[in-house]
Amino acid sequence: MIAAINDHRPPLTRPIEQALRGVPRHWFVPPVGEAFGDDGCGAPIDRDTDPPAWWDAVYAGRPIVAPDGSACPAAGAVADLLELLGPVPGQKVLEVGTGTGWTTALLCRLVGQSGSVTSVEQDAAVAERAAKNLAAAGALPHLVVGDGAAGCPERAPYDRVHVTDAVRAVPYSWVEQARPDAVIVCGFGGEHALRLLVMADGTASGRFSGLTTMTRPQGEPWITLATALLGPGTWRTWGKPGPERLGLTVTPEGQRVWLDHPEQVIA
């Protein structure tokens, strides 16, 4: 799995690789589910009736969806988001979207016993299964059932905010609950990531980057996301900019898209 991730991106940093080795993915994959291949199509997997196919799906790093709808994301995308987040021992982390609990356990490993992870899951049944997975793995996050967009203000402020699910808008509550110089990372539009740095003035700003999904090409999804952010006319007018040129700033009044630098707002 790690070799496959490194084939699609620069080599993993040592802390992320150690976390992936220390928290086996199969602990968090359901016995029955649907695994998605390079073509984006899903295929059923069953640990009891076809163990080889189940193990192949788990350690090929493919996205896997459980019958209850919870997901174990593509291993490459998980690694990308963690690298962008850069958690270190002793930090307080807010995770939005517990899912199966795999990323939650990785975050616990990365911040260590001196840090803490608060994970918010909206679906009570999914949260209950994640809690069992995490307990079996020996991870000790603070689990909350609730609306992830609201965060968890009673345990703020946070040094890092990790958003598992892809979003199209960043709630200001995540910025409000983060310390100055904190980092917020989330999937954006499904195929891309957004990394925001929280400023002392209560805003957050940062750029987009691609995700190692290992499921489908990145070109067309970026066009779809860019036109959704800007509108097709604006995107063409500004020369069809790629993700490396676009950024986002989040304020109490909402979010704005900029080109090359935060002062050049285009949407």
- What is the pLDDT, as a whole number, of residue 235? 82
- What is the pLDDT, as a whole number, of residue 215? 41
Domain boundaries, the chain: 2-259
Q: What is the pLDDT of residues 109-151, one digit of tens each?
A: 999 999 999 999 999 999 999 999 999 999 999 999 999 999 9
Which of these, 165, 193, 178, lies nearest to 92 by C-alpha position?
178
The top-level CATH class assigned to 2-259 is alpha beta
Q: What is the pLDDT of residues 186-216, one digit of tens each?
A: 988 767 899 999 999 999 999 988 776 534 3
Beta-bridge partner residues of 205: 197, 249
Pairwise pLDDT comparison (75 vs 228), residue with the higher score: 75
Q: What is the pLDDT of residues 10-59, one digit of tens each?
A: 899 999 999 999 999 999 999 999 999 877 789 999 999 999 999 999 99
Pairing state between β 254-259 and 71-72: unpaired
Residue 218 binned pLDDT confidence (cut-offs 50, 70, 90): very low
Is the distance from CB of 66 to CB of 46 less than 8 angstroms?
Answer: no
Q: What is the pLDDT of residues 74-117, one digit of tens each?
A: 999 999 999 999 999 999 999 999 999 999 999 999 999 999 99
Q: Give kind and range of the element (H or E) at residue 45.
A: strand 42-46
- What is the pLDDT, as a whole number, of residue 19? 98
- What is the pLDDT, as a whole number, of residue 190? 66
Instruction: Give the integer Cα–Cα distance in Å for 256 and 163.
Output: 19
- What is the pLDDT, as a whole number, of residue 221? 60
Which of these, 65, 261, 93, lies nearest to 183 by C-alpha position?
93
Q: What is the pLDDT of residues 232-253, one digit of tens each?
A: 788 888 888 877 788 999 999 9
- What is the pLDDT, as a whole number, of residue 214? 39
- What is the pLDDT, as a whole number, of residue 219? 44
- What is the pLDDT, as a whole number, of residue 213? 54
